[in-house]
Structure 1
Amino acid sequence: MSSASNEPSPTPAAPPRRRLSREERLRQLLDISWTVIRDEGTDALTLGRLAERAGVTKPVVYDHFGTREGLLTALYRDFDARQTATMTAALEAGAPTAADRARIIAACYVDCVAAQGREIPGVLAALAGSPELAALKRDYQRAFLATCRQLLGPFAPGGDLPAAGLWAMLGAADALSDAAVAGDLTTAEAQAELRRILLDLIARGAAGAGG
């Protein structure tokens, strides 16, 4: 009768790590960048620090962003893309009325800024004076105002919204969102006031339109 072997069973080999696609790696690096800003502040976010936190070599990070300014610009693009996606999904699920659209636009705008906390202001401050960011930010602002005009204009007298009123609304939206982040207003208060501003803008309609 043979005796059983006392040798330990071989340990199964760990499965090889899957190589991330370029898009997956970019998403990972952006997520880690937001974490670094949240944990350590914007000044701590360098390409070298990002590589260290992500566990990759510096050339990988440089390949995606080129410079620190390129990284910060990518973070701003990422923030705007998420804000747009959130608002689009909410609008598709909402009622096609002026009141509901104003409510959704106000809620999504304030919520997205509040969710990013103090991170996005830090990114914008770090990029202050950057011509590329100034142009990018203005493009995004114009796109947002065009969306508001398209969604809310048909409910206004004359079927349009005044351009000056739209820009004033955007300034108020940023100020209210910043106040909510700082704790000077609750998120609900900021959203309610922005909703009222939007409804007032609709009520004015094309009487002040132009440009």
Structure 2
Amino acid sequence: MTKPVVYDHFGTRSGLLVALYREFDARQTVIMDSAIEASEPTLEAKAAVIASSYVDCVLLQGREIPDVIAALAGSPELERVKRQYEAVFIEKCRIVLTPFAGSGNIAAAGLWGMLGAAEALSYAAATGDITATQAKDELFEIIVAMVERNAGGHRRSAASHTNK
């Protein structure tokens, strides 16, 4: 395919990147929603589904998706699109995981940290730095720890450690 043909269809490079990301997100959403629906109603089962779905979806898309995600941060317009999709993913995870948090809430910072870990671990698996199993296992542990912190096992913040 030549550059003019692509731009005739998508308009701009940004349009192409947004279309690729939307396609990726739509596939990821279908896979994750189906797996969540079919999973047992336990924290471990839900965390495993989120971890596996995220990593598997990135790996199915190949090495290009992490590059598309990185490119989305390259302009304010593309960054807005990426942030919208991230907010939807975070809200979905919050809804799925909140029943297991004793406080009835999961801190936004933890959810953003989980997403950052999901992106980094998936990228590392896609580039062969770690295995898919290692990525899924680590993300699972991060998700469980995040929810358990909100279930009553609160740790002090970094600021409280420095004030000792």
Which TM-score tier does this pair reach, normalised by the shorter chain?
A: 0.7 to 0.9
Structure 1 residue identity aligned to 2:137: A
C-alpha distance 147-127 of structure 1, shift in aligned 2 (>3 A): closer
Give the match for residue 77 of structure 2: 132
Q: Which runs of 5+ in 1 are unaligned?
A: 1-35, 37-44, 51-60
Q: Name the CA distance, whole Å, in 1 between partners of 2:69 and 2:149.
A: 33
Q: Percent identity?
A: 54
Q: Name the CA distance, whole Å, in 2 between partners of 1:47 and 1:190.
A: 38
User: Does 2:137 correspond to 1:201?
Assistant: no
User: Does 2:44 correspond to 1:96?
Assistant: no
Contact 1:47 1:67 in 2 (8 A): no
Two-structure CA RMSD over aligned residues (Å): 1.9
Larger radius of gyration: 1
Contact 1:157 1:204 in 2 (8 A): no
Normalization by structure 1: what TM-score? Answer: 0.67
Contact 1:114 1:180 in 2 (8 A): yes
Give the match for residue 96 of structure 2: 151
Give the match for residue 86 of structure 2: 141
Give the match for residue 18 of structure 1: none
Q: Name the CA distance, whole Å, in 2 between partners of 1:110 and 1:80.
A: 13
C-alpha distance 97-164 of structure 1, shift in aligned 2 (>3 A): same
Normalization by structure 2: what TM-score? Answer: 0.85
Contact 2:94 2:106 in 1 (8 A): yes
After the TM superposition, which parts of structure 1 deviate over 4 Å for at least 4 consecutive aligned residues? Answer: 125-128
Pairing partner for 2:119 from 157, 174, 185 = 174
Query: Number of residue pairs matched?
Result: 153
Give the match for residue 32 of structure 2: 87
DSSP-derived class of the 1:159 partner: coil
